[in-house]
Amino acid sequence: MKQKAKILPVSVDEAAEIAAIVRQADVDEITEALGIEMEHGLRLCFGGSCKASKIVVDGKVVAVFGDSVHDVQASIGVPWLISTIHVEKRAKPFLRVCREEVREMLTRHDTLINYVDERNTQAIRWLKWLGFIFGEAVPYGPKGLPFFQFQLSREV
């Protein structure tokens, strides 16, 4: 039977529970890029987003994601996604919903821009699959670790 992903709202109250199952590469990226604990990072993401959601497959949260406003006048949004330890075993249903969710973000913003840790090769591969364009790695966060800026613009 084909697994199906559900997109559901996510609340700040779920941050601790989700933080406990975040994939290690995403924990490293958030804690090193922002210099904050994972649970606090999730609370900031959930509370500061235009829309924050979770992807659930077989009752397991495989990822949380959303987008926030970076620049209203320039219509630039900041997309984010944090995956959990459940994403690899449920990759196909996860991937089936990703492109549509990014398209929805592009109805709120003309351009999406964010940064990804150079070491997070799984996330980089996924972002490229979604069509994001990458710049050169630059020092980012409190430790100045190499991160790639990535962006995607709405088709006119």
In this predicted model, what pLDDT tens digit does every residue of 122-137 receive, in sequence order?
A: 999 999 999 999 999 9
Token couple for 67? 């987008």
pLDDT of the residue at 33: 78
Residue 111 identity = T
If residue 78 lies in a helix (H) or strand (E), which one and from where to where?
strand 76-83
**Stated pTM of the model:** 0.92
Closest CA to 145 of 29, 42, 47: 29
Q: Cα–Cα distance between 20 and 117 in angstroms, integer?
A: 20
Are 19 and 39 contacting, i.e. CB atoms less than 8 angstroms apart? yes
Q: Cα–Cα distance between 83 and 121 in angstroms, integer?
A: 13
Q: Which residues contact 28 (CB under 8 A, 6 or more apart)?
A: 117, 119, 120
Residue 75 identity = S
pLDDT of the residue at 52: 97
pLDDT of the residue at 1: 62
Q: Cα–Cα distance between 155 and 131 in angstroms, integer?
A: 12
pLDDT of the residue at 156: 64
Are 42 and 61 contacting, i.e. CB atoms less than 8 angstroms apart? no
Report helix angle 121-130 to 24-34, nearest 10: 90
Residue ranges for the chain with pLDDT beneath 50: none
Are 75 and 83 contacting, i.e. CB atoms less than 8 angstroms apart? no
pLDDT of the residue at 155: 79
